[in-house]
Amino acid sequence: MAIKNIDMVFVLDVTGNMGFFVDRFRRNLLPMLRQRLSERAETAKIRFRIITFRDYMSDGEEAIYRSRFYRMPEEEAELNRELQRVECYGGGDSPENGMEALYFALTSDFAAGEESRQYIFLFTNADAVEIGKRADCSGYPQDMPSEKEIAALWKSGKGLSKNGKKLVLVAPKGTVYQKLFAGFDDVFFCPTNFSGLLDDLEFSPLLDKAIEEVM
């Protein structure tokens, strides 16, 4: 079966100590992805989207930012400009509002159909704030589902390709990300260090594992 559409959403922790990683992401990850996807799905329509998160308690309405989808390679210049605008600051003390950002990723306007593929990558060096704990903070989204409802949404595959979706979680061990999605066949958890720079994270094997399993 020819793959017609590939959508990728990158959920990035952009608090103060993630600057080193975000710089690496800009320089290395997207070029690697373009190469691998062109090798495996030469005729597919490819789109990338960026979602960034901090903490509503310290950053208010700027805690989460959602870009639109960018078509690749047609809108690569626009995506690069989007990435250059990403700044790492704030966040206060761990944990952060990563689960809310992940929910926005899961409910992206994905291309539908079994000939489509959806990938979500989340990168963080902190745990997630309990859903709703920042409900009184400025900018917090209304009607946010619970953690279990978010996991159920991914499991149900609503709006996603039944056999063509992959969630890659790069986060510290013991965090809500690992606990909530434990045992899911279409979720890959890659442990990292709390408050670390993610400088030991190797992009190449991470991408190969994620892409090859659903291509």
Give per-residue pLDDT as tens, 161-176: 877 899 999 999 999 9
Strands (E), 54-136: 64-66, 70-72, 116-123
Q: Nearest 5 degrees, angle CA 59-CA 123-CA 148?
A: 80
151-208 pLDDT tens trace: 999 999 888 887 789 999 999 999 999 999 998 989 999 998 887 788 778 877 777 7
pLDDT at 114 over 90: no
CB neighbours (10 Å) of residue 107?
13
Q: Which domain holds residue 184?
A: 5-212
**CA–CA separation, 45 and 49 (whole Å):** 14
* CB neighbour list of residue 77: distance below 8 Å, 6 or more residues apart: none
Confidence bin at 92 (pLDDT 50/70/90): low
pLDDT at 93 over 70: no
Q: What is the mean pLDDT of residues 3-24?
A: 92
> In terms of pLDDT, which residue wins out, 67 or 80?
67
Number of domains in the chain: 1
Place of tokens 């250059």: 84
CATH assignment at residue 138:
3.40.50.410
pTM of the model: 0.93
* CB neighbour list of residue 164: distance below 8 Å, 6 or more residues apart: 3, 114, 116, 117, 118, 214
